[in-house]
Every structure is written in C-alpha cells, then in structure tokens.
Amino acid sequence: MALLIDQPHWPAHGTRFAHLVSDISLVELWNFARSQGLPARAFDHDHFDVSEARHGSIVAAGAEPVEARELVHRLQLSGLRMPQAHRLPSRRRAETNLRRSWELLLPTEPELGRRLITEWSQPHRHYHDTRHLVHLLAALAQLDPQVDPTVALAAWFHDAVYRGEPGDDERASAELAEWELRRAGLPAPTITEVVRLVLLTIDHQSAPDDPRGTALIDADLAILGQPQGRYLMYLNGVRAEHPNLSDDDFEMARRRVVGALLSQQSLYRSQIAQQLWLDRARENLSSEEFHWQTVRGHQQLD
C-alpha cells in the first residue's frame, strides 16, 4: 500500500485542500477513500481532494505525508498522473471550444448555436454537458479528420434535450433537431438524416453499411475507452445526474448497462475505433463490473 498525501496548501470553499494519491493503483486509492468516508465528488482524475480538517485523520489511517513535489514525482513515475490533454476541460473552456466549432459548422445560424450551448449548459447536467459534446466532436475527428457535417450536426443535437429519461430524451432531441434545422432552412434530406442519426443513440446500434451512424455511435461511446481516471470522472458525472436514485438502484442500473456493453460482440463498429478504444474500454467496464461485485459481496458479509 502506497498512499501519499501532501500538505493542505490549495485554498477553496473557505478552507485549504491537500491531494491524496496512490502510486500503486486507482483501485487502491478509491478503496482507501471509501474506507475514510471521502465523497466520490472529491475525486479529480488521479487524486482525491482532502480538506484541511480531514488531513490528520487521513494520515492516521495510513497515508504517508510528503511534500507536493515528491507526490507529483511519484505519481508520474507510477504512470497514474493524468496528462492535461486527457482531463475534463473546464466548462468555460468547453463553451469557448463549442462556439468556435459551431462557427465552422453552421456560420449562418449563430443564434441556433447559442441556444444549443445554453441547453448543453443546464445545471442539472454533470456528464451529458458541454464537455461531453466537446469530447464527442473530438472523437469524431479522431475517427476521420474530415468530419461529415451531417454527423457533426447530429452530435450537437443528440443530447440537446436531457432530462435523464432514456429514449424519451433522444426522441425529444430528434424533434428539436427537425424543428430547428427546418427553421434554419437546411435541405430536407439533411434534416431527415440528422433526425435518423440522433435516434440511433437510443440503443447505440448502427448497421454495417451505415458509416455515418457508425461514426456517431463509436464517438459517443469513446468515453468508455479513456484512461481509467477519466472513466471514473464519467461515472461520477453519471451518478450526479441521478440524485434521486438510491445507491442500490444506481448499482443495479449500472450493472445492467455494463453487462449489456460487455456482452456485445463488437462494442465499436469501425476498425479504427476498435484500435483507439476497445482494449481500454473492456478494461474499464470489467473493472467497474468487478467493483459492483465486490460492493455486493461486502454487503452480504455485513
């Protein structure tokens, strides 16, 4: 066990915070954090933020106090330090990125772009927000640097309506796309295609002869194949979007999702998506599945 904590030097929320890390694994870090009652929202890609008031108890529980420079050095040597390029951007940065993207995609409709960004910025969104849209658009560019504008439009609309109601959200988003794009005067075939693509995100299934659908679905699932710390941030965001679910109900829902994803013969349709994300996606999903099995096992022992 190699848990490290630096001194609480970072001011926020009327106090100061330290960083708690493991130079062995994120699983070790999370297990220790749970044992100490640290909230999941305190996790930030490769560390937990620990308030000054909790610093002493965390050290007493076994974390080794070190200077910040040593903590960062040992975290880097472990390979667990999350590079900035893989971290969630700030919401402000994501919004700036999206404004630029929209100007390139549909420069004649700036108001529509602003309305969509407002929808994606709603406060109840924690994963399905502007940062998810930025990541999806970047994933599309990884699959093909020449992103199909129709697919990009579908990406912008695919979670434009988000109330946490699977199926209904996608259908409402498709209706919004049809109404807004018709209002903008886009050709009917383009509108029909955008609507079709948005509806594919209900079950994330595309036909083998559907390159547009394949690109959108693969990019939407790209989050599954990110470094483990980023995947855990995704899980935190999803959990925060369902505050009314009990922990048990959330666990059951995630078990169903993870089981369905792992049972798919081909999680990603395109060869390039498989090369980019498949191995890590399976590792992340298997790790989450094992976590829920462990949680259930501990509850049964109790």
Of residues 218, 220, 222, 237, the one with CA closest to residue 45? 237
- Is the pLDDT at 302 greater than 60? The verdict is no
In this prediction, residues 251-271 reach a mean pLDDT of: 94
CA distance 12 to 95: 23
- Is the pLDDT at 1 greater than 70? The verdict is no
CA distance 15 to 90: 22
- Is the pLDDT at 206 greater than 70? The verdict is yes
CB of 167 within 8 A of CB of 294? no
Place 265 in a pLDDT band, splitting at 50, 70 and 90: confident
Phi, psi of 159 (to 5 degrees): -125, 30
What are 56-102's pLDDT values in tens digits? 999 999 999 999 999 999 999 999 999 998 899 999 999 999 999 99
Residue 204 sits at the vertex; the CA angle it makes with 203 and 210, to the nearest 5 degrees, is 125
* Domain residue spans of the chain: 3-81, 85-302
Q: Give CA separation, 301 vs 255, 294, 298, in Å.
A: 20, 11, 5
In this prediction, residues 274-299 reach a mean pLDDT of: 86
Of residues 190, 189, 159, the one with CA closest to residue 174? 159
